[in-house]
Amino acid sequence: MSERPELSRARHGRVPVGPQALARVGLLAAVLSLVLGWQAFAAFTQPLASTAPRFAVSPPAATPPANALVASAWKEVGPPRDIPMPPGVPAAHASSLLALPAGQVGAASSDLLAAWFAGSRESGADVQIWMARFDGAAALGAGAWQAPVAVLNRHALAQQLGFGVRRLGNPVLWRDADGRLQLFVVATGLGGWAASRVLQVQLEPAAAAGPGWTVTHARVLPLSPLWNLSTLVRTQAAPLADGGAWLPTYFELWRKYPSALRVGPLGEFVAPVRLSHQGGGLQPAVVPLSAREGLALMRDFSAGAVRVAHTGDGGQSWEDRPPLAVLNPNASVAALRLTDGSLAMVANPQRTGRQRLDLLRSADGVTWTLVATLEDASPGAEFSYPALALSADGRRLHVSYTFERKRIRHRVFDWVAAR
């Protein structure tokens, strides 16, 4: 069969000049015009991308009185307790906490949700995401946590997504502006954590008064052009004034770096932003200083000190700052803004090992003072991956962390009036 004339001309680089060729190019031009017009209409009718983000801070930031920055301002309530583990599950890690306002999914004003991953081992095929509710009105004893329920497993997610999920990890709880519970979770492809993706899952209570949760929607978030690999979540979302949030993420392949994804009030995907152009900062904890200013406190992959980035425009752009004087042994930190404008952080404050875990507080995000040593054991012990949540009234601080990779420990601190 002889070659078509236009192909022959193409091979020899000649320009087609016949009316048929012109008509075909004209048709293509018309189609492309329609396509671009449609894209422009769809894109520019999305208002979220064009609105400048502002952190949700309440009340407005104010310098706390100097005598508030003392260890006695926060007192631990009750003994440390472990969140109940599923029976027969030996390994647990990476908890996330979410304080619930009154009336939220049947909760009282002091209730709390916790999510974590558990299974035979980290990266095990049987790892699921578990959740449990803390009944804040109950006596602060062992019975305050309800029994855990399994929320996500990789098989059910694969069915919903239409593609395989190899492993699950690092859940992050968030409540949208309508009060719906959303969960961001790491799901791996082929390979280890470096082959991770971030999934967004919407949950509803399985029954009005029951403990279970049903997945109503699930999707993968596009955060990398390299087969959407190697982006993870770990730390809690920083709320925005419009009801949305900055969800901290990080890229773990090659030259690791921290980033964040802006989500809208109902969890809409808005825009990603890179938090640092220096390699090696991971698992950023984003905390607001004011409506426009914020800090990202980061794990240092090179095991030096807690890294810092700063924003002055609500998170749209970030610049690197000098690291804190708080050491960091390549371990995750948690941080949040307290209602008096000061910041709380939980970190492993040594150069190597995760055997010590401290709760720290700062007025400016630069100078940190010790509130309480949560754990201090011999080298080889591990207390890591902390999470923080503040009750709705701002007077109770919840701390959770992985205890020896076997369970999740929970501590409660109440604010007491400074003398």
Q: State yes or no: residue 297 binds another protein (CB under 8 A).
A: no
Q: How many residues bind another protein (CB under 8 A)?
A: 74
Element of type H or E holding 251: strand 245-251
CA angle centred on 229, ends 227 and 230, rounded to 5°: 160
Contact flag: residue 15 with another protein (CB under 8 A): yes
11 binds another protein (CB under 8 A): yes
CA distances from 182 to 100, 260, 299, 348 (A): 13, 17, 25, 29
Looking at 106, 141, 164, 379, which residue binds another protein (CB under 8 A)?
Answer: 164
User: Under rule CB under 8 A, which residues in 221-280 are in contact with another protein?
Assistant: 221-222, 224-228, 251, 253-255, 257, 264, 266-274, 277, 279
Are 233 and 247 contacting, i.e. CB atoms less than 8 angstroms apart? yes
Place of tokens 């949560």: 374
CA dist 114 and 136 (Å) reads 13
206 binds another protein (CB under 8 A): no
Burial class (CB in 10 A: 0-12, 13-18, 19+), 304: middle
Which H/E stretch holds residue 26?
A: helix 19-44
28 binds another protein per the rule CB under 8 A: yes
Give the ranges where 185-318 is alpha helix by DSSP (H).
Answer: none
Q: Which is nearer to another protein, 316 or 373 (CB)?
A: 316
- Determine which residue in the list 66, 139, 190, 417 makes contact with another protein, applying CB under 8 A: 190
Q: Binding residue for another protein (CB under 8 A) from 16, 78, 243, 312? A: 16
Member of 38, 147, 179, 192 binding another protein (CB under 8 A): 38
Minimum CB separation of residue 299 from another protein in Å reads 17
Helix (H) / strand (E) containing 118 = strand 112-119
* Positions in 101-160 near another protein (CB under 8 A): 158-160
The rounded distance, in Å, linking the Cα atoms of 228 and 221 is: 8
User: Of 229 and 336, which has the nearer Cβ to another protein?
Assistant: 229
Interface with another protein, residue 52, by CB under 8 A: no
325 vs 368: CA distance, rounded Å: 8
**Contact at 8 Å (CB) between 251 and 267?**
no
179 exposure class (CB count in 10 Å sphere: 0-12, 13-18, 19+)? exposed
Number of other residues whose CB lies within 10 A of the CB of residue 71: 12
Q: Least distance in Å: CB of 131 to another protein?
A: 19
209 interacts with another protein by CB under 8 A: no
Order of all β-strands in the sheet with 213-221: 167-175, 181-188, 196-205, 213-221
36 touches another protein by CB under 8 A: yes
Q: Which of 100, 151, 165, 399 binds another protein (CB under 8 A)?
A: 165
Question: Judged by CB under 8 A, does residue 393 bind another protein?
Answer: no
Residue 380 makes contact with another protein by CB under 8 A? no
Q: Tell me: does residue 192 bind another protein (CB under 8 A).
A: no
Stretch that binds another protein, among 30-38, 78-86, 107-115, 407-415 (CB under 8 A): 30-38
The CA distance from 246 to 396, in Å, is 23
For position 217 contacting another protein by CB under 8 A, the verdict is yes
Nearer to another protein, 266 or 325 (CB): 266
User: Residue 40 interacts with another protein (CB under 8 A)?
Assistant: yes
Contact status: 24 vs another protein (CB under 8 A): yes
Cis geometry, peptide bond prior to residue 59 (ω within 30 degrees of 0): yes
Q: Which stretch binds another protein (CB under 8 A): 6-14, 103-111, 291-299, 403-411?
A: 6-14
Taking CB under 8 A as the rule, does residue 23 contact another protein?
A: no
The residue from 25, 325, 366, 370 that contacts another protein (CB under 8 A) is: 25
CB of 215 to another protein, least distance (A): 11
Closest approach, Cβ 261 to another protein, in A, equals 10
The conformation of residue 163, written as its DSSP 8-state character, comes to S
What residues does 134 pair with on adjacent strands? 112, 145
Residue number with CB closer to another protein (318 or 383): 318
**Residues 64-93 close enough to bind another protein by CB under 8 A:** none
Following CA atoms 345, 403, 398, 89 in sequence, which dihedral angle do they give, to the nearest 10 degrees?
140
